[in-house]
Amino acid sequence: MLAASEGGFHKPSIDEFFPGALLFAGTPFEINRIMLIRLVMTVVVAAFFLIAMRRPKLVPRGVQNLGEYALDFVRVHIAEEVMGRENGRRFLPLLTTFFFLVWACNLAGVIPLFNIAGSAVVGLPLVLSVVTYVVFNYAGIKSQGFGRYLKNQLIPSGVPVYMLPLVLPIELVSTFILRPFTLTVRLLANMMAGHLMLVLFFSATSFLLFEATALFKPVGVLSFAMGFVFTLFELLVQFLQAYIFTMLTAVYIDLAMHEH
């Protein structure tokens, strides 16, 4: 009665993360559904802040008030909280871009017709992680000098000389390999898992309510309820992943600029 061959239930598949080309197929500029979502959400974020700050007033109202609140959230709760006032404002454009770009692309996962996060495929998380990697290394080298920066990153203060053969490889891997890797995987895995769960719940709901026998229709109602609850949970996860990604970027930059 519930066999996929008899009805229309299609379980979520990894193939959904590799849609066919929409434009420029077979070229380096190929655009598929997920790339289109990324472009659309980038334009939406840029348009929002352009409109909000187009004619700023001393006493903000309407969209400007919302825009300033959004910018202040990143400035106060991420940039200055982690890096202090001076360095926080220095890197605020980067952190603001990261936060709202990641959040917007994440939100696409629950927007009708999009139904998949722009960060659910490795490209975007990887590119942002590489940018973070370049920026924190650049900031550390500029602040301390190349040799001193490497020494302070690889040799923690107070480590005995005889422990260096063990500590050096650990610090090398954790600082220069695991940081960009974990940034990428954390965001990617959460968005992939969220999409698969939502597809599972709502595909099951459609099948159970409209194609399965009457015996299973109450289960379809339960599946819909679980899908709704999980959508609310996914909204929280989408925000948290943007916040965590941006927060860790700020932490890595701050750590790189200080000796200890």
Q: Judging by beta carbons within 10 Å of its beta carbon (0-12, 13-18, 19+), is residue 55 exposed, middle or buried?
A: exposed
Distance from C-alpha of 72 to C-alpha of 74, rounded to nearest angstrom: 5
In a domain, 49, yes or no: yes
pTM metric for this prediction: 0.91
Which residues are paired to 31 by β-bridges?
23
In a domain, 1, yes or no: no
Within 13 Å and on the Cβ side, how many CA atoms surround 146?
Answer: 0
In a domain, 3, yes or no: no
In a domain, 4, yes or no: no
Mean pLDDT of 248-253: 96
- Domain hosting 28: range is 14-257
Each residue's pLDDT tens digit, 18-73: 899 999 998 888 999 999 999 999 999 999 999 988 888 877 778 899 999 999 99
In a domain, 67, yes or no: yes
The torsion angles phi and psi of 136, rounded to 5 degrees, stand at: -70, -35
In a domain, 132, yes or no: yes
The structural domain count of the chain equals 1
Each residue's pLDDT tens digit, 206-245: 888 888 788 888 888 999 999 999 999 999 999 999 999 9
In a domain, 7, yes or no: no
In a domain, 43, yes or no: yes
